[in-house]
Amino acid sequence: MTTASGVALHGRHLNEVSASTVGEFTAAIADSSINKILLAAGTYELTTDMCAGAAVCISRTLIIEAEVPGAVVFNAMGGVRRVFDIQSGGTVELIGLNITGGYADSNEATYVCWPSALA
């Protein structure tokens, strides 16, 4: 994971970090000071859950973006869990990502809890 850098966007300051492995990605998710994660091309195989029933759980404002649109794949590896769970209070932008391998009994690979937002 590269060192966080400050970027101004639409009048707000973003603390941005680059990641190229699942470990770097999950560390960036856990770091509440980071607003934007820029992902290197590749497949990110999510084999563990951050919260019950989901590989990635987010409850804050966050941008997750592929360095090269369409060149990042999040694979939850099947099983009985969602890929993303956007929890109450979370606002997330997923940009240029391919998402696969998720499952939920309600047929939602990504779950957005109200009042949250997925842009």
When computed from its CA atoms, the radius of gyration of the chain, rounded to whole angstroms, is 13
Confidence label for 115 from pLDDT (cuts 50, 70 and 90) = very low
Q: What angle do CA 103, 27, 15 make, to 5 degrees?
A: 110
Query: CA angle, corner 79, sides to 119 and 99, nearest 5?
Result: 30
Three-state secondary-structure class, residue 51:
strand
91, containing H or E segment = strand 91-95
Kindly report the pTM of this predicted structure. 0.79
pLDDT band at 64 (very low <50, low <70, confident <90, very high): very high
H or E stretch at 24? helix 22-30
